[in-house]
Structures are given as C-alpha cells and as structure tokens.
C-alpha cells in the first residue's frame, strides 16, 4: 500500500469496524494512518443510503432544511451534509456526461437570487453575498438543462458561462437570449462563425393602471405588450428565437427548490450551499423527473444520454467516488480514505520556513525562521 499523503510504503495496522472489518494502514514516513474502505455512495457520512435517499427526495420536491429535519427526525446539520455530498456528486455527473452533445436550439437566460442578504445590505461588498444570478442553458427540444453558472450579473460571469457552454454543445446550433447588452458581446466572442444567434426583447405593461407601484396590483404579474425578434449573426430560424422554455425552467427551479422561493426565509446563507442545492435540483430534473411534454420521458432520455428513468440512489452511485472524499493512489490505482482530522486537538508542531542562504544570507534566514517558530501555535 502507498501512503496517499507522502507516497511512501505503508504497513498493515490492524482492523476496525464490526461485521465487515476494514484494513488499517500506517505510514512509516509521515506517521499517519488510514483505512482501505470500500466504495460508499455518501463517502464518510454514516447516514444510511435509504435514509439519505428520502432526505434528497424531500429536498428536490421543494422542502426546506428544517422541515426535512422535522419529518425525517434527523439533525439539520446531517441534512446539510447529505445535500452537500449529493450536490457535489451531481455537479460532477453533469460535467462528465454533457460533453459535445447535439442540441440544435438552445435558450439562455439568467435568474435572480441572493445569498445572505439583499445587495443594499451588503455593505462590505463581498462578492459571495448579496445579489446573485443563476445562468442556465436549456435545449428547446428535449428541455434538458445543459449547464449553469452562479455569480454576479457581469460580463465576467457571462464570459465564464459561454466558455463552459462551448465545451458542452456540438456546433453548429442556434442560440437565443433576451436583449441584455452583455449577452451579445460575449456570444460573439465565443461562437461567432460557429453558431447562429438571435435575440428576443419583450416589453411589459401593467394590467391595472399607469402606475405599477399601486397597492392593488404591485405583486400582480405584468403582461407582455410587444415582442421584438432580431438576427444578430448567422442563419437563424425566427420561429425558434424564443426564451419561453428557459422561463418555464426558471419556474420549475423556484417551485422545487426552497432556496429560490421568493419572499421567504428559505434563502441561502452561503454561496457554496446554493451551488450544491442548484446542482442537485438540475441533476434530478434532468435524470429523475419525468417531463409530461416529453411523453413520459426525462430530459436526459429525450437528449439520448440515458435510456431509463434514474432513481435517486442511482444518481448518487453513478457519479463514482466524487464527493465521497476518497484518495486514489497513482501507483497501485487503489482507492483509500484520508485520515480523520480532529480539530479539537492541536499538535505542538513547529513551522519551519527555509530560505536560500545564497540569495538572502544566513542572518536573514535565521531571523525569519525564528519569527515563524515564535508565531506558531503551541
């Protein structure tokens, strides 16, 4: 066995566990121990797979963390841990399976959300807090969500999304967006000469009065007054320039993801939790949820990526070891687990920083090393 930390030879160090015992190993070089644990879909989590499947099923149906904890009689920290593992595995699954897929008509748009607080209360200007935008791409034929990106509504985030979309879709294809100015520049930079692009601009009117901020109709949705379609570049089909399917997909995400429900306390407090939740919702929508407009098929089946409806347990196991915190030894090609980190114990280790004496001199090196020894935790 090769140590996953220092790549040195290890020796057997007994067993642990009841019933199916697991072999322990000890490294003679770095003095660390680890175990050879067989594949588990949830990695280091001790939650049974059947219970984790039930937790994920409640989360993807629009239930919050605390409501799921009350129904399943599980601690909320366990619910968040299961959601984090399932979200990371779902993100890896989407990244692995969606590569150079033929999607002829794609619609792209962004959806508003916020993390921690509204943007006006983000006084520190933290980019991970405040207003965020979820950029999605949907195939108009199969209703498959191709990729997603969460970030500020800036040109940098749109550029990141378009470059990621370039890896997922086979060219040529037709792309449709709304009339946002930054979309046109980034789409030209990514797909000019390889795809066709059209924009649709909608103007809305309030149904009640001229003033849309009146108390009677403030929360009443506006109605579409006019629709403008234009060709930006490439040969386009004007009947396919639309953002209707991507808008309906936004409604699905807001309905089945509690963190995206407006005017509630279910918003995300951290950006990483929002990313895991969105990845899990998208993977469940693509592979597990039957779309009624597709005649009993899932979007992944309509896109010819799978041939059957996936279960949640299959969604956790198909992505392999990703999200289960496993180490892979490159020499023996074996999968082992890292040692548990005990945060309550602090080892009395000294931090040594060595400098080149030829360039800095021995006096400077000794002074800096002494400063790091004094500043190291005892």
Q: Which residue has the higher pLDDT, 17 or 216?
A: 17
**Tens-place pLDDT, residues 220-239:** 777 888 999 999 999 999 99
pLDDT at 108: 97
> What's the average model confidence in pLDDT over 275-304?
95
pLDDT band of 10, cuts 50, 70, 90: confident
* Residue matched to tokens 């399976």: 97
pLDDT band of 267, cuts 50, 70, 90: very high
Label the pairing between strands 327-328 and 335-336.
Answer: antiparallel
pLDDT at 309: 95
**Tens-place pLDDT, residues 44-73:** 788 888 999 999 999 999 999 999 999 999
**Tens-place pLDDT, residues 65-104:** 999 999 999 999 999 999 999 999 999 999 989 999 999 9
pTM: 0.75
Our CA dihedral for 12, 16, 17, 20, rounded to 10 degrees, sits at 20
Dihedral-angle region of residue 42 (phi above 0 means left; psi in -120 to 50 means alpha; beta otherwise): alpha
Q: Are 37 and 46 in contact (CB under 8 A)?
A: no
Nearest-angstrom CA–CA distance, 166 and 176: 15
- Percentage, residues of the chain above pLDDT 70: 78
pLDDT band of 376, cuts 50, 70, 90: very low
**Local structure of residue 241 (DSSP, 8 states):** -
> What's the average model confidence in pLDDT over 340-369?
40
pLDDT at 14: 83
């Amino acid at each position: 066995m090769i140590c996953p930390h220092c790549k040195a030879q290890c020796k057997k160090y007994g067993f642990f566990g009841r019933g199916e015992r697991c072999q322990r190993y000890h490294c003679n070089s770095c003095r660390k121990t680890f175990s050879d644990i067989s594949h588990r879909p949830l990695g280091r989590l001790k939650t049974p797979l059947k219970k984790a499947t039930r937790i994920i099923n409640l989360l993807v149906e629009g239930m919050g963390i605390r409501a799921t904890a009350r129904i399943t009689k599980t601690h909320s920290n366990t619910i968040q841990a299961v959601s984090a593992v399932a979200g990371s595995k779902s993100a890896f699954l989407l990244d692995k399976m969606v590569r150079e897929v033929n999607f002829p008509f794609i619609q792209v748009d962004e959806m508003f959300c916020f993390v921690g607080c509204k943007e006006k209360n983000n006084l520190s200007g933290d980019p991970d807090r405040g207003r965020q935008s979820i950029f999605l791409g949907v195939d108009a034929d199969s209703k498959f969500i191709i990729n997603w990106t969460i970030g500020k509504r800036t040109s940098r985030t749109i550029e990141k999304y378009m470059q990621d979309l370039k890896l997922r879709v086979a060219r040529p294809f037709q792309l449709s967006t709304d009339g946002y100015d930054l979309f046109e520049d980034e789409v030209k930079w990514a797909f000019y000469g390889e795809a066709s692009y059209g924009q649709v601009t909608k103007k809305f009117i309030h149904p009640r009065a001229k003033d849309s901020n009146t108390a009677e109709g403030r929360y009443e949705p506006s109605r579409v007054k006019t629709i403008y379609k234009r060709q930006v570049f490439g040969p386009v089909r004007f009947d396919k320039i639309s953002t209707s399917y991507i808008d309906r997909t936004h409604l699905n995400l807001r309905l089945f993801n509690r963190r995206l429900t407006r005017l509630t306390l279910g918003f995300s407090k951290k950006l990483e939790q929002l990313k895991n939740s969105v990845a899990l919702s998208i993977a469940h929508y693509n592979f597990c949820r039957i779309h009624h407009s597709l005649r009993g098929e899932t979007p992944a089946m309509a896109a010819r990526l799978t041939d059957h409806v996936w279960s949640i347990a299959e969604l956790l196991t198909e992505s392999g070891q990703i999200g289960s915190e496993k180490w892979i030894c490159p020499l023996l090609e074996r999968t082992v687990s890292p040692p548990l980190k005990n945060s309550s114990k602090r080892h009395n280790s000294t931090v040594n920083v060595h400098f080149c004496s030829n360039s800095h001199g021995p006096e400077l090196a000794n002074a800096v090393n002494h400063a790091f020894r004094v500043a190291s935790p005892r």
